[in-house]
Structure 1
């Protein structure tokens, strides 16, 4: 998984809601009812014709290699990939769709695909194409609107705790299991020699806002009501903002550093001792340390500490959808079905370290034999999807800015929650 998965794949979402290319009909999932599809089932005959596939650069870079068996089994099909830089991907995709020149199949990001989940843009996932229960639930839910699924999960990630196990051993402490244990854990690692117990990515933007949203879930809150109204000015959100601020006001984290690109070097150097981050970090720390085996002897992972309502994180990753005006729907869905197979997702992991969205694929020894990934699997089983509304990115960005003021002591958590609620109500949800 790319080290830009957070500020790469997600970075492109920041201005999406401002583009205004699409108006969605009723964004927001209604309950937990299983999604239904309206398309005809897809048979097992060979796919033929030409298939145009668009994806963002990164995890999709290895697709041509990963689908070699699919191409061999479908010799009369010509698959053409167009890989677009992350920062430009959604903008170009939106423009192409609006002009009627979109691809047959397009990659999406479950955490930021809401504006595309509409029958005028995407086809419904055909009946029986895949088993919804084979995926992490929140990833499947992220592609569902009004009980219709529009996307199929491809790869997955979430956040967990990554910490310096050598410093924890020296301090005689175990990974924190609850909110109350978090700051004392950070302080213990500082006492063992770390400059700061926690290294945070201080952009004070959408990513920090998403962190607090995650904490609000842990505190028992929600971001949207069942009626689709913003619920951000709540005791749970206030608790979440206070919890996040405590990392800084306690001195466990610095409000200025590290920034995104500094996070791993700081961690390796001992300037920080903990990260709340995604699984891609596990495969990159040896490089940052310039020493093979450094990670195995210095790092451990754990699920996120539980708030009043448990340990909840968010789900993110990649997904696939077929455009409503695709000229080759049959081949499109056959490719999507192939990409959702456990063996294919294991092949994708081996080629690019993209962790599977299909739960059973995690049983493959290539993944199961890596203990540092265990915490991420545990956490992925307890995740939620961010609100499937087109203005979520704007609201999360505002939440990140409000967090900064609270962390620096210039605003109360209650005021921040009130400000975010007022802002969210002003931009609405983008639903008709």
Structure 2
């Protein structure tokens, strides 16, 4: 009896010893989340990364932009964020405040990434205090797309660099001089142009460590007043975004001569405008109060959540995707502009006048205020602009209301900073 038990025990031990070889668990994949079409495009690069690193399988999930923010917050609450997450730069401050992101300073110091080569605006957007919380992946900003032929017909050889000069051009391209058409398309619901004008001010949009609004400061008021005047002087039509049904056909008809928009429209204008229109449009930097103006620094950065189970592999993937060669290849596939200036040299971007304007503008950008509440405040700025233009309130009353809105929105941040003796 004892001999049988001993033999049975030896058999179990032998089987157990063999199991890790025969039934070894597959390596847990590196989980990566990215938004929209870029998330879908990332799949090819994930396969290429796996080919170079067979011991690092990846699983990429594309999230829709509309639902992505909520999904990220839900995943954070459940301690279920992925190993790499591609965050819109305006979201980084929010996830930093939650303590959800790993600082990358030490890893960067040992990496092949040269952050000094990146555009300043996105680089500032990923830096919170002394911590670098992400690597800029692709960048976004706003500038002017315009009809060269209409500008020339009005007697101008190039787009003005100052507000005063641009006003003269808009006046010549608006109203009775052009059959009741408008010089500029700037729908109310799009707050980005207004934010860009305010970023051109000498004073910050949010004051005192971004704990309260600064909308009644003189230069911010001047920027807001300038945006209002574009409508009240008849340069821009008073339209909501839903009333603009086909931007491209309207642009081709000459319903407006200028639009403030982003880099995705380089490809869209080339694809959607008629063939005879392709030589008649161009891009130009935003004008400013006293010279070439800054614009907002947008885009997406790759970050590592604090609870990532594979931080080393996560950074290896980020380093791979942010290498100039991969950034250039990603641009060729998606049209997204690289955050690394070095990657531009590997594409046709530096040889095309329209995209070269973006390079120029990206060297003059500022990130919007880096607080979790920023998007709420920016949306309220857009709503306030519409109320003033439609005569529902005065400019000064609207700016006072914006300061009050920001005061309420930033209450938690103010309380936390006051407790630390900062604000």
Q: 2:60 matched to which residue of 1?
A: 81
Residues 310 and 300 of structure 1: is their aligned pair in 2 closer, same or farther, counting only changes over 3 Å? closer
Q: 2:154 matched to which residue of 1?
A: 171
TM-score by length of 1: 0.83
Matched, 1:196 2:179: no
Q: What's the C-alpha RMSD, in Å, of the aligned pairs?
A: 2.0
Q: 1:284 matched to which residue of 2?
A: 268
Q: 2:383 matched to which residue of 1?
A: 401
Choose 349-358 or 192-201, whichever is displaced more: 192-201
Contact 1:134 1:359 in 2 (8 A): yes
SS in structure 1 of the partner of residue 193 of structure 2: helix
Runs ≥4 in structure 1, deviation > 6 angstroms? none
Matched, 1:96 2:75: yes
Structure 1 residue 294, shift from structure 2 partner = 3.1
Choose 116-125 or 354-363, whichever is displaced more: 116-125
Residues 123 and 388 of structure 1: is their aligned pair in 2 closer, same or farther, counting only changes over 3 Å? same
Q: 2:229 matched to which residue of 1?
A: 246
TM-score by length of 2: 0.84
State which of 265, 275, 279 in structure 1 corresponds to 2:249. 265
Larger Rg: 2
Structure 1 residue 265, shift from structure 2 partner = 2.8
Residues 366 and 60 of structure 1: is their aligned pair in 2 closer, same or farther, counting only changes over 3 Å? farther
Residues 194 and 379 of structure 1: is their aligned pair in 2 closer, same or farther, counting only changes over 3 Å? farther
State which of 185, 207, 210 in structure 1 corresponds to 2:169. 185
Structure 1 residue 120, shift from structure 2 partner = 3.2
Contact 2:193 2:260 in 1 (8 A): no
Within-5 A mapping of 1:344-363: 344-363=326-345
State which of 116, 122, 134 in structure 2 corresponds to 1:139. 122
State which of 122, 126, 142 in structure 2 corresponds to 1:159. 142
State which of 90, 101, 105 in structure 2 corresponds to 1:111. 90
Residues 71 and 238 of structure 1: is their aligned pair in 2 closer, same or farther, counting only changes over 3 Å? same
What do residues 309-361 of structure 1 show as CA deviations (whole Å, max 9, x unaligned)?
A: 75110011111111111111111000011111111110000011011000121
Structure 1 residue 201, shift from structure 2 partner = 2.2
Q: Size of the alignment, in residue pairs?
A: 379
Q: 1:319 matched to which residue of 2?
A: 301
SS in structure 2 of the partner of residue 220 of structure 1: coil
SS in structure 2 of the partner of residue 197 of structure 1: strand
Contact 2:162 2:291 in 1 (8 A): no
Structure 1 residue 68, shift from structure 2 partner = 4.3
Q: 2:215 matched to which residue of 1?
A: 232
Choose 154-163 or 114-123, whichever is displaced more: 114-123
Task: Return 5+ residue gaps in structure 2 as ranges.
Answer: 1-26, 417-423
Residues 73 and 382 of structure 1: is their aligned pair in 2 closer, same or farther, counting only changes over 3 Å? same
Structure 1 residue 180, shift from structure 2 partner = 0.8
Structure 1 residue 91, shift from structure 2 partner = 0.6
Task: Return 5+ residue gaps in structure 1 as ranges.
Answer: 1-47
CA separation in 1, counterparts of 2:194 and 2:128?
Answer: 25
Residues 257 and 194 of structure 1: is their aligned pair in 2 closer, same or farther, counting only changes over 3 Å? farther
CA separation in 2, counterparts of 1:322 and 1:72?
Answer: 22
What do residues 356-390 of structure 1 show as CA deviations (whole Å, max 9, x unaligned)?
A: 00012122242112210121111111111111111
What do residues 261-281 of structure 1 show as CA deviations (whole Å, max 9, x unaligned)?
A: 533332122111110111111
Choose 401-410 or 260-269, whichever is displaced more: 260-269
Q: 1:120 matched to which residue of 2?
A: 99
